[in-house]
A and B are shown apart, each in its own frame.
Chain A
Amino acid sequence: SQTIHQWPATLVQPVGSPLSLECTVEGTSNPNLYWYRQAAGRGLQLLFYSVGIGQISSEVPQNLSASRPQDRQFILSSKKLLLSDSGFYLCAFLWRYHGYTFGSGTRLTVV
Chain B
Amino acid sequence: GESVGLHLPTLSVQEGDNSIINCAYSNSASDYFIWYKQESGKGPQFIIDIRSNMDKRQGQRVTVLLNKTVKHLSLQIAATQPGDSAVYFCAEKKNNAGNMLTFGGGTRLMVKP
The finding on whether chains A and B are genuine partners in a shared complex, rather than unrelated, reads no
- Chain A interface residues (CB < 8 Å from chain B): none
